[in-house]
Amino acid sequence: MSGEKPEQIIGDETGLQRALSYVNHVFADRTETHLTMDDRHTNRHGTLHGGIFTMLLDSACGFAASRALSDDADQKVITLTLTVNYLAQPKSDHVYAVGKVSRAGGSVVYSNGEVFDDEGTLLATGSGVFKRVRG
Amino acid sequence: MSGEKPEQIIGDETGLQRALSYVNHVFADRTETHLTMDDRHTNRHGTLHGGIFTMLLDSACGFAASRALSDDADQKVITLTLTVNYLAQPKSDHVYAVGKVSRAGGSVVYSNGEVFDDEGTLLATGSGVFKRVRG
Amino acid sequence: MSGEKPEQIIGDETGLQRALSYVNHVFADRTETHLTMDDRHTNRHGTLHGGIFTMLLDSACGFAASRALSDDADQKVITLTLTVNYLAQPKSDHVYAVGKVSRAGGSVVYSNGEVFDDEGTLLATGSGVFKRVRG
Amino acid sequence: MSGEKPEQIIGDETGLQRALSYVNHVFADRTETHLTMDDRHTNRHGTLHGGIFTMLLDSACGFAASRALSDDADQKVITLTLTVNYLAQPKSDHVYAVGKVSRAGGSVVYSNGEVFDDEGTLLATGSGVFKRVRG
């Protein structure tokens, strides 16, 4: 997270975004997916639900893959696989995932992601493999 | 999915469940997490969001782990890691994940999960490692 | 592992096979990779090395993917990703991985694998995504 | 890989190390696992076997975890799970994995790893979760 201006801010594109209120900041070299926690995002222990970490990482890593394949991040990709490791719970309500591409081939793109809170604590790491959808 | 009666039906326990309307059916040997798709669950291609598949698998695998450690599935566990492979999109609105424990040790539990639609098509597979939280 | 006769037994094909002495039994619906443990396969605790479990699963899952794409299991595939969960150590010297395909698309194949000892104990589980290499 | 001197060089500790000739360089903040490719390390396409990438990552990530828990890297840990993404084949015979700890808790340690060739090309990425073995 920096003062740098995103190329695109995508916040109301899908039903899931509206249901959970997360926002994608697309940069040339990464995507950040931001979320401010409320009751919709918690598990039965009152902490951030594992599925939310994963959704943030899938979104950040997938948009980074789209952006690596197209200047407007409009290239359709599908997730082949995603792995998430859960390290810690956030100490701030605002959390964000940062997704970066480690390799973009002709049809397959690899991304890595990290989730942070506002104290800079690493909360989760993830990696995904995405496939370009042609046509 | 069968005519067998669940030990517990948990449908309104957390904020995330209310936001996304999924329901856990806890059995002695597995947990099923059921969801009927609507606009809240879709990605920008209008199909089931990758994060939803993962949330279903995390929930089914995690409850199966809790149930393996406690008769009332009330044992708190945290997800250490979760891997999801995305195979196909559903052909029905109703989808469900089935989570089963492959090994329950003293502190660590391993679960595997599968997501199906009503035609019985396998949509996603996953595996998770969970840790018992004491006290 | 059964009395069923494999379509192919592949035991001396690669340098790694000769260095570690594992053998692939290719069946129409699965591949089994067999290994009899000796000093070459152990970690610094004297038990089966994590890398050996993974090698067995990569081999079994990859050959199952090749076989799903070609009757002679000769179709070249590359591993995109592999996840392995380690459940237990073997109680017999002989161990084997069983790899099965969960979905074979035009270019991408998903396999799951399990490693067992001779007592039938599940030692490890894994999942892999493979890509067909054309030409 | 740098001119920095390792705390420990571990090259002949296990049967698997002798069978495959890889060497661990333990530093305070990471472990590097080095291998010079020969016929023992190849698959049936004559390129580096997927299982070797994984073995390098398991070794580098596991030693980094041990070192995070003990000054002499002698703390026993077991791998709970390991995920590997395969990006590219090496253009040099020498390859090495670098493993770093992202979080070390009381009983669970998370490591990430990357494999490189001598041109600095990223060949594979991985993440593992390790458990401290007491006593």
Whether A1 is covered by a domain: the verdict is no
D80 touches chain A (CB under 8 A): no
C58 touches D: beta carbon within 8 Å: yes
Query: How many structural domains compose chain D?
Result: 1
pLDDT higher than 60, residue D1: no
For residue D74, being part of any structural domain is answered with yes
Sign (positive/negative) of CA torsion A79, A83, A86, A91? Answer: negative
Q: Are A70 and A34 in contact (CB under 8 A)?
A: no
Is residue D15's pLDDT more than 80?
yes
DSSP classification of residue C42: B
Residue tagged 């605790």 (tokens): C45
Residue range of the domain that includes A84: 8-132
Residue C52 resides in a domain: yes
pLDDT given at position A106: 85
pLDDT of res. C1: 54
**Mean residue pLDDT across chain D:** 94
**Has residue C2 been placed in a domain?**
no
D2 is a domain residue: no
D87: contact with C, CB 8 A cutoff: no
> Is this structure's pTM higher than 0.90?
yes
Cβ of residue B102 closer than 8 Å to a chain C Cβ = yes
Choice between C74 and C109, residue whose per-residue pLDDT is larger? C109
Cβ contact, residue pair A76, B45, below 8 Å: yes
Establish if B3 belongs to a structural domain. no
User: A82, B79: Cβ pair inside 8 Å?
Assistant: no
Has residue A3 been placed in a domain?
A: no
Q: From CA D111, how far away is CA D101, in angstroms rounded?
A: 4
- Give residue C2's pLDDT: 63
Q: Which residues of A touch B79 (CB under 8 A)?
A: 50, 86
In 3D space, the residue among D8, D95, D112, D99 whose CA is nearest the CA of residue D52 turns out to be D95
Q: Which of C131, C132, C134 to mutate to test the interface with A (most CBs of A within 10 A)?
A: C131
Over chain C, what is the mean pLDDT? 94
Cβ distance of D54 and C59 shorter than 8 Å: no
Q: Chain A contact for C83, CB < 8 A?
A: yes
Q: Where are the alpha helices (DSSP H) in A33-131?
A: 50-69
- Read off the pLDDT of residues B57-96 as tens digits, 9 standing for 90 and up: 999 999 999 999 999 988 999 999 999 999 999 999 999 9
Q: Which subunits count as partners of chain D given 3+ CB pairs below 8 Å?
A: A, B, C
Instruction: Over range A114-119, report the average pLDDT.
Output: 98
Q: Is the ipTM of this complex over 0.85?
A: yes
Q: Determine the pLDDT at residue C106.
A: 85
Q: What is the pLDDT of residue B83?
A: 98
At residue D12 the predicted structure's pLDDT band, cuts being 50, 70 and 90, is confident
Q: Does residue A1 surpass a pLDDT of 80?
A: no
Radius of gyration of chain B measured on its C-alpha atoms? 14
CATH assignment of the domain containing B52: 3.10.129.10
Maximum C-alpha span of chain D: 44
Mean pLDDT across B104-117: 96
Q: What whole-number percentage of chain A has pLDDT above 90?
A: 81
Q: Please indicate if any CB of chain C lies within 8 Å of the CB of B80.
A: no
pLDDT attached to residue B134: 85
The tokens describing C103, both together, are 């979905």
